[in-house]
Amino acid sequence: MTEQPGNPETPRAADATDPARRRFLGRTGLTALGTILGMAVPFERNLPAGFVPAALAQDTGLDLMAGKQGLVVLGDRPLNAETPAHLLDDDVTPYERLFIRMNGLVPQTALDQDAEGWTLSVDGEVETPLELTIDALKARFETVTRRLVIECGGNGRAFFQPGTSGNQWTVGAVGCPEWTGVRLADVLKAAGVKDSAVYTGHYGNDVHLSGDEEQEVISRGVPIEKALEEDAIIAWAMNGEPLPALHGFPLRLVVPGYPASVSQKYLNRIRVRDREHDGAKMTGDSYRIPAYPVVPGTEVPEEDMVVLTEMPVKSIVTFPETGTEVKAGETVEVRGHAWCGKGDVASVHVSLDFGQTWQEAALEPPPNRFAWQRWRAQLTLPQHGYYEVWARATDQDGIGQPPLSPAWNPRGYANNIQHRIALVAVA
């Protein structure tokens, strides 16, 4: 199972399992409620045991959304929210507009911004296992700052026919913040990767929705060759600030080009494996696609599913907002971003006539590999009426985005269907 909102059996069960609530219950007890709220609780004696007052009930995560602007919440336990395309216009995605994908609960250490004693272990198929504090990471390895796209493997799932289960992401489970940290490759090299190394396995300290602290929330990995490329970083900062609670404080991996599920938040361990990693959400049909094209809607035997690796070429239109009115006969700038799991995007084209003709957009080179690339096109809507702008990016191998959903797969991954917006021209 993957990408599916958790479903605690009853709200009460959820109350009892939320770590913040358990802390409240464990540390303070209900008698302290009046003190915490700063007011009398006349019927306090009636509160049933194990009950958490609504004023302190933060397990939905929605309170964590306070600093976000304009995101669409798809689920609150776990918290999942995407960004409308027109709010993704920035070259560097600010905190306020970065999508959120939680498979479990935000760990208390992140909520408290408490990195005291945090270490990153590197073990498994390495010559010298490492246990690095954040200070040691900063001291031992070169610090790099990179703009890197993270895109959920399920972005675009909503467009598959027939539908597939999981969060119904449309176009906004993607962003391109600026990350600061050290190269994953440098850390792995310091540990000395053995010849037997095949894959990485990533671990974090977020809490499973069941509340069971032994249960892994998500633990994915990448082929060792990918991990040893210089692009992936172990980050402690996003856009010049310590990582926010929602995005992995105090450390996260950012492995660009692959589904963002490999970019482990709350990172505390990297285990080098001698086989394909088999952590939570690596097996079954999680982040896996059929090894061959299948008829939409068919069941695919588990042994025929392979791990989703490189994300396909994609683009979005971020300006103007869909539905905008423009003047007929006047030139309007249409713009957006394009990115690709293979590296640089080769070209972006736009169509104003439902795909009959295409005009090449101006495409900027990325500031660094795996950053998204700005594209712009000047369009003139000839007369009043309804128009659509379709955008199509093409990768270095000449493979472009399809006008309809690409290869259907049981869990709805890697949908790079062309993005389109509506424009209305007025006389």
Ligand X SMILES: Nc1nc2c(c(=O)[nH]1)N[C@H]1C(S)=C(S)[C@@H](COP(=O)(O)O)O[C@H]1N2
Where on the chain is the footprint of Mo ion (CB under 5 A)? 101, 152, 261
Give, rounded to a whole angstrom, the gap between the first and last alpha carbons of the chain: 52
Query: CA geometry: angle at 203 spanning 202 and 205, to 5°?
Result: 155
Q: How far is the CB of 35 from ligand X (least distance, A)?
A: 34
Choosing from 106, 217, 311, 352, the residue that interacts with ligand X (CB under 6 A) is 217
Q: Which residues of 116-145 are buried (b: 16+ CB within 10 A; e: fewer)?
A: eebebbbebbbeeebebebeebeeebeebe
Using the rule CB under 6 A, give the single segment among 101-109, 334-342, 360-368, 392-400 that binds ligand X: 101-109
Per rule CB under 6 A, is residue 206 in the interface with ligand X? yes
Burial of 301 (0-12, 13-18, 19+ CB in 10 A): exposed
Cβ nearer to ligand X, comparing 264 with 401:
264
Q: How far is the CB of 175 from Mo ion (least distance, A)?
A: 12
- Write the interaction track for ligand X spanning residues 235-274; mark x where CB under 6 A is met and - where it is not: -----------xx------------xx-xxxx--------
User: Positive or negative CA dihedral for 78, 18, 251, 273?
Assistant: negative
Choosing from 20, 33, 100, 389, the residue that interacts with ligand X (CB under 6 A) is 100
Cβ nearer to Mo ion, comparing 261 with 264:
261
Closest CA to 67 of 95, 38, 45, 25: 95
Cβ nearer to ligand X, comparing 64 with 326:
64
Cβ nearer to ligand X, comparing 21 with 208:
208
Closest CA to 235 of 309, 147, 108: 147
Spatial distance between the Cα atoms of 399 and 346, rounded to a whole number of angstroms: 9
* Helix (H/G/I), strand (E/B), else coil: 54: helix
Q: How far is the CB of 360 from Mo ion (least distance, A)?
A: 32
Cβ nearer to ligand X, comparing 254 with 389:
254
Rg from Cα positions in the chain:
23
Q: How far is the CB of 315 from ligand X (least distance, A)?
A: 19
Q: How far is the CB of 173 from Mo ion (least distance, A)?
A: 7
Cβ nearer to Mo ion, comparing 141 with 413:
413
Binding partner of residue 266 among Mo ion, ligand X, none, CB under 5 to 8 Å per kind? ligand X
Per rule CB under 6 A, is residue 104 in the interface with ligand X? yes
Spatial distance between the Cα atoms of 372 and 377, rounded to a whole number of angstroms: 16
For residues 375 and 347, the answer to whether their CB atoms sit within 8 Å is no
Binding partner of residue 272 among ligand X, Mo ion, none, CB under 5 to 8 Å per kind? none
Choosing from 132, 152, 233, 282, the residue that interacts with ligand X (CB under 6 A) is 152
Q: How far is the CB of 104 from Mo ion (least distance, A)?
A: 13
Q: How far is the CB of 199 from Mo ion (least distance, A)?
A: 19
Q: Which two three-digit tokens encode residue 75?
A: 């689920």
Choosing from 83, 93, 103, 109, the residue that interacts with ligand X (CB under 6 A) is 103
Applying CB under 6 A, the site for ligand X has a residue count of 21
Spatial distance between the Cα atoms of 96 and 107, rounded to a whole number of angstroms: 20
- Write the interaction track for ligand X spanning residues 185-204; mark x where CB under 6 A is met and - where it is not: -------------------x
Q: Which two three-digit tokens encode residue 49?
A: 């045991």
**285 DSSP 8-state letter:** T
Spatial distance between the Cα atoms of 303 and 49, rounded to a whole number of angstroms: 48
| Residues engaged in binding ligand X (CB under 6 A) | 98-104, 150, 152, 204, 206, 217-218, 246-247, 260-261, 263-266
